């Protein structure tokens, strides 16, 4: 860089004048003094005219044939000249790109409480603000002060495979899983921390698609299909295809994947976002790798029937304790090589994960577990009891409203015994997967345009437009106003 700048500088100062660069052009703009000079100037002007005309034509051709089609298509990336090796079928890419375009849903009402009866009610995101009430009542138990001199180094635990994982946080993760019994997190399982489980999802795609087994299986030369059964979590397609990786490519519904010995990655989200059902892998082939997204496998949402013990499991603080803004998730991984590649991904993309957030998360998880170890603690001071009661009350209220109308329907769930709560329980999912009945074909538009209720339409989840996903995790004020508005819909 230094030598490049040096060259430029020298070229501009050869005349010894600070404006030497300007001087070399100046005579061409001066009036000619003699006829010879005048002819020379005329032919120069003509050349310039041809040059500019040519440039204008080239510019127009570029605008008409390259730029305009992109705009007309709403920036659909399928029209970009990707190298053939990074594309796996245009039809699929077009569908994915539409989803990606529509995925941008942050609006002026995101995260806010509706203030009047005709305000927009935004239940599009799964923003877990319902939990604020719980954490407000814990007083200073979950408070943390970090002195200016702390958490300054990049490194947390260099002896650990995941060198940026704070040991206190790792210990509290293992303790919480032991307490709840929802996952095997014994010492020989690798824990990897990520900036939200969103980052870990990408790290997992990278780790699984670069595994030597996959390459040896004929997966080396093309992007690996990534599938999930419909309705799938709406972020999977966008997160998979964002960087147009040559390693993996979103391929839609797991059930449409033709079984064979070709490698693939299946994402299993259980309980499922958006519909709350428990899921297992749809594709049963030895050449597949599975990512288990267990963001909602906590007792406030579903019965804990056994400790999950899959090869690669993802969890997030966002839906466990409600601290989405902390941006922390963790993966529990069996295979050392897969864990190493996930760590490599995070190392290269963000050189680790916020230590401040990890220390705060350790304190939050510790507060949760401590409360369960206190014999005399009241139920409302225990996170999972508080959250499950809130979810149960909300679902009961919602079901009453839905039962009174023939315009909508909800999935029907079966009770199961919860080992943690020690009783039979129905699922109380974080989202209501609402179906518009009768002649409402586009439920999302119907609720948005006619009733100012923002939801996420079924097509984002690979499903039909009669379905919408509605967050059940918002603040009480928002939820109550939603219920009131929904009950007033008269078809
Ligand atoms: C199923 C599922 N997985 C992952 C995430 C992302 O979680 P995080 O906030 O940790 O990135 C969400 C968030 O809504 C989710 O619903």
Cα–Cα distance measured from residue 93 to residue 88, given in angstroms and rounded to the nearest whole number: 8
Query: Hey, which of 110, 127, 198 would you mutate to test ligand 1's pocket, going by the most ligand atoms within 8 Å of its Cβ?
Result: 198
- Specify the ligand 1 atom closest to the Cα of 233: 1
In which residue ranges of the chain is CATH 3.90.1150.10 found? 107-129+380-487
Counting Cα atoms < 13 Å in the Cβ hemisphere of 214 gives: 23
State the average pLDDT for the chain. Answer: 83
Q: Which of 97-101, 228-232, 256-260 has the highest mean pLDDT?
A: 228-232
Q: How many C-beta atoms lie closer than 10 Å to residue 161's C-beta? A: 15
In which residue ranges of the chain is CATH 3.40.640.10 found? 157-373
Residues 12-41 pLDDT 10s: 333 333 333 333 333 333 333 444 444 554
Cα–Cα distance measured from residue 123 to residue 478, given in angstroms and rounded to the nearest whole number: 8
Question: What is the residue with the minimal CA distance to atom 15 of ligand 1?
Answer: 295
- Specify the ligand 1 atom closest to the Cα of 201: 4
Say whether pLDDT at 463 is over 60. Answer: yes
Counting Cα atoms < 13 Å in the Cβ hemisphere of 198 gives: 15
pLDDT for 173: 98
Cα–Cα distance measured from residue 318 to residue 364, given in angstroms and rounded to the nearest whole number: 12
Interface predicted TM-score of the whole assembly (ipTM), two decimals: 0.99
pLDDT for 48: 58
For residue 125, how far is its CA from the centre of ligand 1 (angstroms)? 10
Cα–Cα distance measured from residue 384 to residue 381, given in angstroms and rounded to the nearest whole number: 9
Beta strands 121-122 and 453-454, pairing class: parallel
pLDDT for 437: 95
Question: What is the residue with the minimal CA distance to atom 7 of ligand 1?
Answer: 197
pLDDT for 76: 33
Domain 107-129+380-487 CATH (choose: 3.90.1150.10, 3.30.70.890, 3.30.70.360, 3.30.70.100): 3.90.1150.10
Residue 293 near residue 268, CB atoms below 8 Å: yes
- 453: helix, coil or strand? strand
Fold of 157-373: 3.40.640
């Amino acid at each position: 860089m230094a030598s490049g700048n040096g060259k430029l500088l020298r070229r501009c100062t050869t005349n010894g004048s600070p404006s030497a660069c300007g001087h070399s052009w100046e005579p061409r703009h001066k009036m000619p003094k003699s006829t010879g000079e005048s002819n020379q100037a005329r032919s120069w002007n003509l050349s310039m005219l041809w040059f500019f005309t040519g440039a204008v034509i080239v510019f127009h051709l570029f605008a008409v044939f390259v730029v305009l089609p992109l705009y007309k298509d709403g920036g659909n990336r399928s029209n970009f000249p990707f190298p053939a090796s990074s594309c796996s079928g245009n039809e699929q890419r077009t569908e994915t790109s539409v989803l990606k375009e529509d995925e941008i849903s942050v609006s002026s009402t995101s995260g806010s409480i509706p203030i009047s009866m005709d305000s927009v009610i935004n239940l599009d995101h799964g923003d877990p603000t319902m939990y604020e009430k719980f954490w407000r009542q814990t007083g200073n138990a979950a408070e943390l002060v970090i002195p200016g001199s702390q958490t300054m180094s990049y490194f947390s635990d260099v002896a650990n495979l995941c060198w940026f994982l704070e040991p206190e946080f790792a210990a509290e993760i293992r303790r919480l899983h032991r307490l709840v019994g929802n996952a095997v997190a014994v010492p020989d399982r690798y824990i990897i921390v990520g900036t939200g489980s969103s980052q870990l999802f990408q790290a997992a795609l990278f780790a699984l698609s670069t595994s030597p087994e996959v390459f040896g299986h004929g997966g080396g030369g093309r992007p690996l299909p990534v599938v999930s059964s419909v309705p799938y979590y709406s972020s999977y397609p966008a997160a998979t295809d964002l960087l147009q990786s040559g390693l993996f490519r979103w391929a839609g519904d797991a059930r449409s994947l033709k079984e064979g010995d070709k490698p693939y990655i299946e994402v299993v989200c259980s309980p499922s976002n958006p519909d709350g059902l428990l899921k297992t892998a749809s594709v049963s082939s030895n050449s597949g790798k599975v990512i288990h997204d267990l963001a909602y496998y906590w007792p406030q949402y579903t019965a804990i029937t056994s400790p999950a013990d899959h090869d690669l499991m993802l969890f997030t603080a966002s839906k466990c304790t409600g601290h989405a803004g902390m941006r922390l998730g963790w993966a529990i991984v069996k295979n050392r090589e897969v864990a190493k590649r996930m760590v490599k991904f995070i190392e290269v993309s963000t050189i680790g994960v916020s230590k401040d957030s990890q220390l705060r998360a350790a304190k939050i998880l510790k507060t949760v577990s401590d409360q369960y170890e206190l014999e005399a603690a009241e139920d409302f001071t225990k996170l999972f009891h508080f959250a499950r009661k809130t979810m149960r009350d909300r679902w009961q209220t919602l079901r009453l409203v839905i039962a009174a109308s023939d315009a909508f329907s909800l999935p029907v769930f079966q009770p199961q015994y919860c080992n943690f709560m020690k009783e039979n329980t129905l699922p109380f999912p974080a989202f209501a997967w609402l179906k518009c009945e009768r002649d409402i074909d586009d439920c999302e538009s119907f609720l948005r345009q006619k009733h100012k209720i923002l939801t996420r339409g079924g097509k984002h989840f690979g499903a039909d437009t009669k379905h919408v996903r509605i967050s059940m995790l918002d603040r009480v004020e928002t939820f109550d106003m939603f219920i009131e508005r929904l009950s007033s819909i008269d078809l």
